[in-house]
Structure 1
Amino acid sequence: MTNTFRCSNCGTVGLEPGFVEDSGQNARGYTRWVQGVLEKGVFGMAKLRGRPVREIEAYRCPSCSHLELFATARA
Protein backbone atom coordinates (compact mmCIF):
# COMPACT_ATOMS: atom_id res chain seq x y z
CA MET A 1 0.00 0.00 0.00
CA THR A 2 1.51 3.33 -1.08
CA ASN A 3 1.26 6.30 1.28
CA THR A 4 0.41 9.83 0.18
CA PHE A 5 3.31 11.58 1.92
CA ARG A 6 4.83 14.22 -0.37
CA CYS A 7 8.58 14.96 -0.43
CA SER A 8 9.22 18.51 0.80
CA ASN A 9 12.31 18.67 -1.43
CA CYS A 10 11.09 17.57 -4.89
CA GLY A 11 7.33 16.99 -4.49
CA THR A 12 7.30 13.24 -5.25
CA VAL A 13 4.31 11.43 -3.70
CA GLY A 14 4.73 8.01 -2.05
CA LEU A 15 7.73 8.00 0.29
CA GLU A 16 9.44 4.78 1.39
CA PRO A 17 9.01 3.99 5.12
CA GLY A 18 12.08 3.16 7.20
CA PHE A 19 13.84 4.09 10.43
CA VAL A 20 17.06 5.70 11.65
CA GLU A 21 19.10 3.19 13.64
CA ASP A 22 20.96 4.07 16.82
CA SER A 23 23.62 1.45 17.58
CA GLY A 24 25.54 3.30 20.31
CA GLN A 25 26.18 2.03 23.81
CA ASN A 26 22.97 1.13 25.68
CA ALA A 27 20.95 2.13 22.57
CA ARG A 28 17.38 0.93 22.07
CA GLY A 29 18.12 0.45 18.36
CA TYR A 30 16.10 3.44 17.16
CA THR A 31 16.29 7.19 17.60
CA ARG A 32 13.92 9.35 19.63
CA TRP A 33 12.90 13.02 19.66
CA VAL A 34 13.13 14.84 23.01
CA GLN A 35 11.44 18.19 23.60
CA GLY A 36 13.63 21.16 24.52
CA VAL A 37 17.24 22.22 24.21
CA LEU A 38 19.90 19.54 24.86
CA GLU A 39 21.13 19.62 28.46
CA LYS A 40 23.92 17.27 29.52
CA GLY A 41 24.34 15.75 32.96
CA VAL A 42 27.51 15.16 34.95
CA PHE A 43 28.59 12.15 32.83
CA GLY A 44 27.73 13.77 29.49
CA MET A 45 24.38 11.99 29.02
CA ALA A 46 21.33 13.94 27.87
CA LYS A 47 18.92 14.93 30.66
CA LEU A 48 15.49 13.41 29.90
CA ARG A 49 13.59 13.53 33.19
CA GLY A 50 10.18 15.15 32.80
CA ARG A 51 10.54 15.77 29.06
CA PRO A 52 8.18 14.45 26.41
CA VAL A 53 9.91 11.76 24.31
CA ARG A 54 8.58 10.44 20.99
CA GLU A 55 9.63 7.78 18.51
CA ILE A 56 10.84 9.00 15.12
CA GLU A 57 9.44 7.64 11.86
CA ALA A 58 11.63 8.13 8.79
CA TYR A 59 10.59 8.21 5.13
CA ARG A 60 12.89 8.37 2.08
CA CYS A 61 11.98 9.89 -1.25
CA PRO A 62 12.53 7.32 -4.05
CA SER A 63 13.31 10.14 -6.51
CA CYS A 64 15.82 12.39 -4.71
CA SER A 65 16.67 10.33 -1.55
CA HIS A 66 15.63 13.22 0.74
CA LEU A 67 14.67 12.03 4.25
CA GLU A 68 11.53 13.20 6.04
CA LEU A 69 11.39 12.61 9.82
CA PHE A 70 8.23 12.65 11.96
CA ALA A 71 8.00 12.50 15.76
CA THR A 72 5.01 10.21 16.34
CA ALA A 73 4.01 7.82 19.13
CA ARG A 74 5.32 8.30 22.63
CA ALA A 75 8.47 6.26 23.19
Structure 2
Amino acid sequence: MKQQFDLVEECNLKLIAKRYLLVQKIGSGSFGEIYIAIDVRKAKEVAIKVEKAELRHPQLPHEARLYKRLKGGPAVPKMKW
Protein backbone atom coordinates (compact mmCIF):
# COMPACT_ATOMS: atom_id res chain seq x y z
CA MET A 1 0.00 0.00 0.00
CA LYS A 2 1.33 3.44 -0.92
CA GLN A 3 1.98 6.02 1.75
CA GLN A 4 -0.32 9.04 1.81
CA PHE A 5 2.56 11.34 0.77
CA ASP A 6 3.13 9.31 -2.39
CA LEU A 7 -0.53 9.59 -3.38
CA VAL A 8 -0.59 13.36 -2.82
CA GLU A 9 2.63 13.75 -4.83
CA GLU A 10 1.14 11.77 -7.73
CA CYS A 11 -2.01 13.90 -7.75
CA ASN A 12 -0.03 17.14 -7.71
CA LEU A 13 1.96 16.00 -10.72
CA LYS A 14 -1.24 15.51 -12.69
CA LEU A 15 -2.74 18.94 -11.88
CA ILE A 16 -1.06 21.77 -13.80
CA ALA A 17 -1.33 25.36 -12.51
CA LYS A 18 -4.10 24.24 -10.13
CA ARG A 19 -6.40 24.25 -13.16
CA TYR A 20 -5.63 21.56 -15.76
CA LEU A 21 -6.05 17.91 -14.87
CA LEU A 22 -3.91 15.68 -17.09
CA VAL A 23 -5.99 12.79 -18.43
CA GLN A 24 -3.96 10.97 -21.08
CA LYS A 25 -0.64 11.35 -22.85
CA ILE A 26 -1.26 11.66 -26.59
CA GLY A 27 2.21 12.46 -27.91
CA SER A 28 5.83 13.18 -27.14
CA GLY A 29 8.94 14.51 -28.77
CA SER A 30 12.43 15.72 -28.02
CA PHE A 31 11.20 18.82 -26.15
CA GLY A 32 8.30 17.45 -24.11
CA GLU A 33 4.96 15.68 -24.00
CA ILE A 34 1.38 16.49 -25.03
CA TYR A 35 -1.63 15.50 -22.94
CA ILE A 36 -5.39 15.60 -23.14
CA ALA A 37 -6.44 17.56 -20.06
CA ILE A 38 -9.56 18.99 -18.45
CA ASP A 39 -9.79 22.68 -17.56
CA VAL A 40 -11.38 22.19 -14.13
CA ARG A 41 -12.67 25.79 -14.02
CA LYS A 42 -14.53 25.57 -17.32
CA ALA A 43 -15.10 21.78 -17.45
CA LYS A 44 -13.64 21.83 -20.97
CA GLU A 45 -11.26 19.41 -22.72
CA VAL A 46 -7.94 20.95 -23.79
CA ALA A 47 -4.49 19.84 -24.94
CA ILE A 48 -1.48 20.68 -22.77
CA LYS A 49 2.14 20.64 -23.90
CA VAL A 50 4.57 20.05 -21.05
CA GLU A 51 8.18 20.92 -21.73
CA LYS A 52 10.99 18.94 -20.14
CA ALA A 53 12.34 20.88 -17.14
CA GLU A 54 15.98 20.07 -17.90
CA LEU A 55 16.05 21.81 -21.30
CA ARG A 56 18.86 24.34 -21.58
CA HIS A 57 16.95 26.33 -24.20
CA PRO A 58 13.18 26.25 -23.57
CA GLN A 59 11.17 26.09 -26.79
CA LEU A 60 7.62 26.85 -25.62
CA PRO A 61 8.07 30.65 -25.56
CA HIS A 62 9.25 30.56 -29.19
CA GLU A 63 6.41 28.26 -30.19
CA ALA A 64 3.88 30.55 -28.47
CA ARG A 65 5.15 33.57 -30.44
CA LEU A 66 4.94 31.60 -33.68
CA TYR A 67 1.35 30.49 -33.02
CA LYS A 68 0.45 34.08 -32.14
CA ARG A 69 1.72 35.27 -35.54
CA LEU A 70 -0.09 32.46 -37.38
CA LYS A 71 -3.33 32.93 -35.39
CA GLY A 72 -6.46 32.43 -37.47
CA GLY A 73 -4.70 30.52 -40.24
CA PRO A 74 -5.85 27.12 -41.45
CA ALA A 75 -4.90 24.23 -39.14
CA VAL A 76 -3.41 26.58 -36.51
CA PRO A 77 -4.57 25.61 -33.01
CA LYS A 78 -6.05 28.14 -30.59
CA MET A 79 -3.54 28.69 -27.84
CA LYS A 80 -3.45 30.07 -24.30
CA TRP A 81 -0.11 31.15 -22.87
TM over 0.5: no
Higher share in helix: 2
TM-score using structure 1 length: 0.28
TM superposition score normalised by structure 2: 0.27
